[in-house]
Chains A and B, each alone.
Chain A
């Protein structure tokens, strides 16, 4: 099985991941990463925040995965290339049983899929230490090199947080409670913030 050797995270995806984690600081959050995969490298362009409630229940998760697939098909260029997760406890760096299942599912469709864990203890990231840990589908540390092509990504994240941007973010859980909230349109939200 080919292993990913490099993961590039675009600023938009980077910011969305952390904003999601900051919106629900006392809970575990997860989501999908969209982008392109070629050769043995993965370019993550967008993030789709999914849940902030229990990961153990599969129906809504299955729904979200299917909807994400459809969304990618209609947008044409992107595919699901990864999964991100932030744990409830800041010193917990395990993927957990549910995270593993989801990661494996994604890997079965896209073998190069990246699996990123937000490091809860490093919530003051810098460009050199972005606060994301790449993992394998079985939860072990991956040898892949994570990079942020745009060095200003961290500053942008800071700016969003200053303005309370995390409160505007809509994940799939919030969408299920209110159909008017658009979980697929978070990038538009960011550019207007």
Chain B
């Protein structure tokens, strides 16, 4: 179980009520959220506010990181879409609290770029995208390699519905810092959202070169190849064949719990043109994939899926 799941399980007996969970449990839960970079503003808000209200003194130096974490969670809840209000609205409770935390942080760390980025996020939450952009631009002028500001800019452009420009900026950044795996993943996602499959394929190749042992990258690459190759019979057989190899290798790297690779293999085998020399191997591969799928579902005791999958895979492979 991941650290976050463990921490959540530990809090569950107390009904997820922070005051009953106590200081230690709440603190470790928030730490787990922070380290796993999970997106759980609900948890952060509940437990973080409790900690800051009742135990701020005990947190010591960690209190500033806590303020930052809760501040970001507050922004998630406080944002209003631009269209709804016309500026002269009463700010929500969350935004008010967020402003309060921000002033605390700004007073403690006056010249910090990290705090400036938080200010940019506040502008974003209020819908003032131009002000936010200006903030991030300033940070990047001061520190051209500030990853956090650059990523917020890309996210901002994406949020404004400008994926093409977001992709351009990200690509320019990756030209300079080619080892940013997160960046390549985001870029791949951006290209996919615009149906630019060839460029997405390039990004996945970079990720494979960066980290050849990650089964997820092989998986995604195979999916892109299969999408490009076309699943219907009559598509690009080479791409389908290569996709098959990547699905197989992904299974090699992660043999259990890798449903996507198994389904992918099934599709590749079904898409292979019949009557070729390698038809026997393809058939065997397909049968193997089907067997492993049924095994997985058997182990997971997913009775509803078992029959469905069996029927579907048999129909597919025939």
Q: Chain A residues in contact with chain B, CB under 8 A?
A: 26, 54, 56-60, 62-63, 66-67, 69-71, 73-74, 89-92, 97-98, 121, 164, 175-180, 182, 184-185
Contacts and interface: CB of A to CB of B under 8 A. Distances in A.
A98 B271 CA distance: 21
Interface in B252-276: 257, 259-260, 263-264, 266-267
Contact of A74 (B189, B192, B311): B311
Given A60-B223, A91-B81, A97-B195, 20 more contacts: A54-B193, A57-B223, A58-B223, A58-B227, A59-B222, A59-B264, A60-B260, A62-B231, A66-B312, A66-B315, A67-B309, A71-B308, A91-B83, A121-B83, A121-B84, A177-B257, A179-B257, A179-B296, A180-B300, A184-B304
Nearest to B158: A88
B311 A59 contact: no
The 7 closest A-B pairs by CB, nearest first: A179-B300, A56-B192, A57-B223, A63-B263, A180-B300, A58-B227, A70-B312
Interface of B: 39, 42, 81, 83-84, 159, 161, 189, 192-193, 195, 197, 200, 220, 222-224, 226-227, 231, 257, 259-260, 263-264, 266-267, 296-297, 299-302, 304-305, 307-309, 311-312, 315-316
Given A59-B226, A62-B267, A176-B260, A92 B161 contact: yes
Contact of A60 (B81, B263, B311): B263
A56 B195 contact: yes
A70 B313 CA distance: 10
A74 B307 contact: yes
A182 B257 contact: no
Given A26-B39, A121-B83, A179-B259, A59 B304 contact: no
Contacts of B193: 54, 56
Given A91-B81, A182-B305, A59 B259 contact: no
Contacts of B307: 74
A59 B222 CA distance: 9
A20 to B, nearest CB: 16
A177 B257 CA distance: 7
Nearest to B196: A56
Give the secondary structure class of B's interface: helix
Given A56-B197, A58-B231, A59-B226, A176 B259 contact: yes
A75 to B, nearest CB: 10
Residue from A59, A179, A185 whose CB has the most chain B CB atoms within 10 Å: A59
Nearest to A53: B189
Nearest to A25: B76
Nearest to B189: A54
B308 A70 contact: yes
B301 A89 contact: no
A57 B297 CA distance: 24
Contacts of A182: 302, 304-305
A179 B227 contact: no
Contacts of A185: 304
Nearest to A97: B195
A59 B193 CA distance: 16
Contacts of B267: 59, 62-63
A21 B296 CA distance: 29
A57 B222 CA distance: 10
A66 B311 CA distance: 10
Contacts of A97: 195
A91 B195 CA distance: 21
Nearest to A96: B193
B263 A57 contact: no
Nearest to A54: B192
B300 A59 contact: no
29 contacts: A26-B39, A54-B189, A54-B192, A56-B192, A56-B195, A56-B200, A57-B224, A57-B226, A59-B223, A59-B226, A59-B227, A59-B264, A60-B263, A60-B264, A62-B231, A62-B267, A63-B266, A70-B309, A70-B312, A74-B308, A89-B159, A98-B195, A121-B81, A121-B83, A177-B257, A178-B257, A179-B257, A179-B297, A179-B299
B155 to A, nearest CB: 10
Contacts of A176: 259-260, 263
Contacts of B83: 91, 121
A57 B227 contact: yes
A176 B159 CA distance: 28
Nearest to B223: A57
A21 to B, nearest CB: 14
Contacts of B302: 179-180, 182
